[in-house]
Structure 1
Amino acid sequence: MFEVSPVFYIVLVLYFIVILGIGLWSGKKNDGTEDFLVAGRSIGPLVGGAAFAATQMSAGTFVGTLGVHYLTGGSFLWIWCGLWFGWLIAATLVGPKFQAFKGLTVPDYVGTRFNSKAARGISALLILVAYTVYLTAQYQAGGNIIQTLFGIPFIWGAIITIGITLIYTMVGGMRATAYSDFVQAIIMAGCFFAALPLLFGKAGGTEFVGAFLSEFSPNMLSWHFGFKELLGFGAAFGFSMAAAPYELARMYTLKDKKTVKLAIGYSFIFQAIVGISVAAAAMAIRTLYPYMPSPDIASTIMAINILPPVVGSLIILAIISAIMSTVSGIMMVSASAFSHDFYATMIKPNASDKEKMTVNRIAVLVLGIIPLFLALKKLDIVQFIVVLQASLTASFFFATVVLGLNWKRGTAAGAIVSMIGGFFTALFWYIGGNPLGLNEVIPGVIVSVVLFIVVSLMTKRVPNESLKPFFKDVT
């Protein structure tokens, strides 16, 4: 536990008032399921870009990535190349078609494109599994931060993280998530970038930091990770970002195709600022505090022990913002997968709009609480839990989304076998300790793509009616 300045409490309370205010404002504007799930398709490019960036830059960035840079040095920066390649695929081959479809959930796309309730249900189930893993990382980060700050048990830190996010998500839905993400993205990018001169000043300047790290561990400024490791990390993030359900769901909220491309462009700016700032900050912290019990607490110690109270308070808010924005987005995607794609489609198709809204909110609550029990296990450092989730998501969804939107011959059987085969290939590869030194995403995506193509060519074509929303030349 550290001595926390009263300024921190004031800033924290003001922040929570703003975020909860956004939730209440959004709740009043919600008029039915479409408003709750896709914000009435009213989000513009700047807010949309901030939402893309804020959801992607989770605890994995501000706790996990910073922790990995603290532990290993600068080579981990190369993973951003893979991530941005995934965003380029999303901007050119995925986003415009996805937005034009005007669905409510990601499994909506799967069910319509492949004319299959089974494919829709399997995609919803796999989303729930993968995002339970992702939420585990976010809760673990939130618990670590609050435990480090206030000395309270880890579980209460995780519960506080969940509680605030649940309130504004359950009340305001996707509109609250989008606008709170806009506020949070500005805090994230602005605070970390502004903190760098202060950090390096405390650490003795850039030359001293470089000299210290070179002597402390030469790999810090060269290649701690090898080519295969960096390729695996980059592929995990890139493949998953091209077809990430929590980002695809946000594309439904945007006004039109042009807005999708502009929003992804704006998100690049936020991500570039944060990526460089996080890596540089980690180097300065390692110089000041060469030994820590866990790299996941490096960002918290930076905020409380190194920076002035106001700046440190804003940094903590940036980290909490990153966690809350991702948790909120994932809660919405997971809850809608259950309420819309299981309950309203398969269990009770004639449910009223009011009943669907109630089930949505209950699903947010229940599915938001379940990962808490996994977080208590502390499965790994935060960044590597995030990489596992990205690998699983890419392995079951990349082929179904990217090939499905751009290859008419893809069939329901191809999608089903591809999703199941890719998911279990990645899972068993991970459990087996990543043979040949390859990250689980590489065999997972390869198997899913091959299965999608081979099985699709061997099975019955999808009716033209299901292809029309995605291919202009289908009549």
Structure 2
Amino acid sequence: MDWTLFWVIATFATYIGIAIWARAGSTNDFYVAGHGVHPVVNGMATAADWMSAASFLSMAGLIAGMGYGGSVYLMGWTGGYVLLALLLAPFLREFGKFTVPDFVGDRYYSSTARIVAVICALFVSFTYIAGQMSGVGIAFSRFLGVDFNTGIFFGMAIVFVYAVLGGMKGVTYTQVAQYVVLIFAYTVPVIFISLMLTGNPVPQLGFISNIKGDDISMLQKLDETVQGLGFTSYLASTKTNFDIFCITAALMFGTAGLPHVIIRFFTVPRAADARLSAGWALVFIALLYTAAPAVGAFARLNIIGSVNETTYAPAETYEVQSKLIRDAGEPPSPAWFANWEKTGLVAFDDKNADGQMQIRGPAAPDGLENEVTISNDIYVLANPEIAQLPEWVIGLVVAGGLAAALSTAAGLLMVISSAISHDLCRRTFFRNMSDKTELRVARLAAAGAVIAAGFMGIYSAELAFVAQVVAFAFGLAAASLFPVILLGIFWKRMNREGAIASMLTGLIPTFAYIWHFKLGAGKAATAQDWFLGVSPEGIGFVVMLLSMAVGVGVALVTPPPPQDIQDLVEDIRIPGTRRSHGIADSGMAPLD
């Protein structure tokens, strides 16, 4: 039985069935699920929305490949969610709007501010969604025997059905199902492998336990192994401390500015429910994030053990692939490597023509050059196959990866759709648009976004690995949206001129920096060429400080907001006591 095909068909059928059952009948259903989602349900949906392909596929791969250096993604994303849950979510829910641009437009009493916020949200969302579609292509291309681009198109078709049909209502309950799939798919294999390597069924403890039948810890053995092959210590980082700090901060503050996560807190009935659902989401997220370091470490040890015959791999804990594929004239390789080689995500270059695969670091003591290239994005998907786990487990992991990618993609599509149909059309350019027409426009916008996202996913595969593409989106969100949201809630003197200046100051330099060093003339640049030594993944934090300073400066030299806006800012910080203040509650588009 083809277990991969079984799990993919079963889960996709479930998602489509839920979308049909939860079909949106109004714009309120389409944008915010009627404000009627239970906090626990919303917490689970938020966790699925939050844990994208970057979390499921790429984060553990980064930790596996970079060791301590990869932990910046774990720390930044986790800390960012806590910041969002405690500092922003309840107040945004108390404001009672559909979207982040809706908040910006009404809080800053400006159609221009709303349009700039829409542009920022679209930049962030399309960058983020490109990484998700790339993850879909990776999973499909390996396990369903189709090429990368075909895999993306297939994923587009599935998202099209349940996002366009069900809107936020359908997406919410689909994400609940996707969370269940992805958390089982992530934890079941690592429990198996933890038992095989350490005898401990709890991966978080197995990660720091001794190798089964030995007196050395698994982590220490891994560190000795990678250093012995010429790599940097697994417990060290090649990045500077300042760059690590900037990347972590960009991911953290970017999280608090992500429109597709913020919109989830508008789906619950009250601000108190937003706090409660944020707490539940953190519990659900922690189940995966606390296991990620173990997944990365186990995968690194397993992959080295399966490729290098001299690497530690005792038979009682882990059976190394013994049967090598020997086609005429081709060098031998483990079976899993031969399967993944077809995708182009792993490669072998027999530099010394000895027919033996060698994984080596730049400081290899035996003087051999590295001959094996492995993408960070395959560690999670390939690890069960390398460890020779049952076929049903391997198939489950594929379904989990697809669930993680598609759940986040759906949330991002809702942001794109609502930004176009609600914020641009109904609230700015066509203020007399009916509810029925707006719903039709929203569905058309979602459909167009699906198509655009697919092509961006194809292009992003040439740009970087999944987590890195997603990190760019976080940097853009940190620099452009976080300052105006934070100041809009906690500083009543912040005005429309300051908000517009802040968003533009954050968006343009950050995007230009990323473009220059990833796609432009600076592609071949080294860390010495970066501004202050800050990588493109971390530049969003530096620009965020600049954009916040510009926003405050401009606000202080221009007229203050109207008194009713200042009163509104005070009211939304006291949940349950907000008075009516015209602009915020009337549904009318604000005027510049």
Shorter-chain-normalised TM-score: which range?
A: over 0.9
C-alpha displacement at 1:75, in angstroms?
Answer: 4.3
2:294 is matched with which residue: 265, 277, 280? 280
Superposition map of 1:125-274 within 5 A: 125-203=119-197, 207-208=210-211, 209-218=218-227, 219-224=232-237, 225-274=239-288
2:431 corresponds to 1:437 = no
Q: Which amino acid aligns with 2:473?
A: Q
Distance 1:343 1:299 in 2: 42
C-alpha displacement at 1:228, in angstroms?
Answer: 2.3
Distance 2:125 2:117 in 1: 12
2:432 corresponds to 1:350 = yes
2:464 corresponds to 1:470 = no
| Structure-2 residue corresponding to 1:16 | 12
Deviations 1:286-339 (A, max 9, x none): 112125531212222124443212222222221111101100000000111011
C-alpha displacement at 1:346, in angstroms?
Answer: 2.4
2:415 is matched with which residue: 302, 316, 333? 333
Q: Do the aligned residues in 1 keep the contact of 2:246 with 2:542 (CA within 8 Å)?
A: no
| CA distance 1:372–1:177, shift in 2 (3 Å) | same
Q: Which amino acid aligns with 1:222?
A: L
Distance 1:110 1:348 in 2: 19
Distance 1:226 1:340 in 2: 44
Deviations 1:158-210 (A, max 9, x none): 11111101110111110111112122223323332232231234457653443
Identity, in percent, stands at 25
- The two structures have a TM-score, normalised by structure 2, of 0.76
| Structure-2 residue corresponding to 1:92 | 86
Q: Which amino acid aligns with 1:437?
A: G
Segments of 4+ moved more than 6 angstroms: none
Q: Do the aligned residues in 1 keep the contact of 2:250 with 2:475 (CA within 8 Å)?
A: yes
2:407 corresponds to 1:407 = no
Q: Do the aligned residues in 2 keep the contact of 1:36 with 1:175 (CA within 8 Å)?
A: yes
Structure 1 stretch displaced more, 376-385 or 84-93 = 84-93
Q: Which amino acid aligns with 1:436?
A: L
| CA distance 1:261–1:434, shift in 2 (3 Å) | farther
Superposition map of 1:366-445 within 5 A: 366-377=448-459, 378=461, 379-430=463-514, 431=516, 434-438=530-534, 439-445=538-544
| CA distance 1:137–1:220, shift in 2 (3 Å) | farther
Distance 1:435 1:210 in 2: 35
C-alpha displacement at 1:283, in angstroms?
Answer: 1.4
Q: Do the aligned residues in 1 keep the contact of 2:120 with 2:481 (CA within 8 Å)?
A: no
Q: Do the aligned residues in 1 keep the contact of 2:185 with 2:397 (CA within 8 Å)?
A: yes
Q: Do the aligned residues in 1 keep the contact of 2:113 with 2:500 (CA within 8 Å)?
A: yes
Distance 1:446 1:210 in 2: 38
| Structure-1 residue corresponding to 2:111 | 117
Distance 2:240 2:566 in 1: 43
Structure 1 stretch displaced more, 415-424 or 465-474 = 465-474
Q: Do the aligned residues in 1 keep the contact of 2:89 with 2:274 (CA within 8 Å)?
A: yes
Task: Determine helix, strand or coil for the equivalent of 2:431.
Answer: coil
Task: Determine helix, strand or coil for the equivalent of 1:471.
Answer: helix
C-alpha displacement at 1:62, in angstroms?
Answer: 1.3
Distance 1:464 1:211 in 2: 62
C-alpha displacement at 1:77, in angstroms?
Answer: 2.8
1:70 is matched with which residue: 58, 64, 70? 64
Structure 1 stretch displaced more, 412-421 or 61-70 = 61-70
2:440 corresponds to 1:362 = no
| Structure-1 residue corresponding to 2:555 | 456
Q: Do the aligned residues in 2 keep the contact of 1:50 with 1:182 (CA within 8 Å)?
A: yes
C-alpha displacement at 1:114, in angstroms?
Answer: 0.4
Q: Do the aligned residues in 2 keep the contact of 1:340 with 1:356 (CA within 8 Å)?
A: yes
Distance 1:228 1:199 in 2: 35
Q: Do the aligned residues in 1 keep the contact of 2:480 with 2:505 (CA within 8 Å)?
A: yes
Q: Which amino acid aligns with 1:420?
A: L
Q: Which amino acid aligns with 1:424?
A: I
Deviations 1:418-464 (A, max 9, x none): 00001122223333563222221222111111011101111111113
Deviations 1:185-243 (A, max 9, x none): 23323332232231234457653443542233244531224422321221122101122
Q: Do the aligned residues in 2 keep the contact of 1:23 with 1:176 (CA within 8 Å)?
A: yes
Deviations 1:356-379 (A, max 9, x none): 111101100111211333322321
C-alpha displacement at 1:80, in angstroms?
Answer: 3.5
Distance 2:386 2:21 in 1: 36
Q: Do the aligned residues in 2 keep the contact of 1:66 with 1:298 (CA within 8 Å)?
A: yes
Q: Do the aligned residues in 2 keep the contact of 1:143 with 1:158 (CA within 8 Å)?
A: yes
Q: Which amino acid aligns with 2:210?
A: E
Deviations 1:54-80 (A, max 9, x none): 111101111221221121124433543
| CA distance 1:457–1:137, shift in 2 (3 Å) | same
Task: Determine helix, strand or coil for the equivalent of 2:290.
Answer: helix
2:383 corresponds to 1:302 = yes
| CA distance 1:69–1:126, shift in 2 (3 Å) | same
Task: Determine helix, strand or coil for the equivalent of 1:176.
Answer: helix
Deviations 1:219-277 (A, max 9, x none): 45312244223212211221011221111111111121111111111121222221122
Distance 1:403 1:88 in 2: 18
Aligned-residue CA RMSD (Å): 2.0
Distance 2:50 2:392 in 1: 26
Structure 1 stretch displaced more, 105-114 or 420-429 = 420-429
Q: Do the aligned residues in 2 keep the contact of 1:77 with 1:275 (CA within 8 Å)?
A: no
Task: Determine helix, strand or coil for the equivalent of 2:165.
Answer: helix
| CA distance 1:207–1:369, shift in 2 (3 Å) | same
Distance 1:289 1:211 in 2: 17
| CA distance 1:282–1:91, shift in 2 (3 Å) | closer
| Structure-2 residue corresponding to 1:318 | 400
Runs of 5+ unmatched residues, structure 1: none
Task: Determine helix, strand or coil for the equivalent of 1:155.
Answer: helix
Structure 1 stretch displaced more, 93-102 or 77-86 = 77-86
Structure 1 stretch displaced more, 205-214 or 364-373 = 205-214
Distance 2:394 2:145 in 1: 18
| CA distance 1:8–1:256, shift in 2 (3 Å) | same
| Max Rg structure | 2
**May I ask how many residue pairs the two structures share in their alignment?**
469
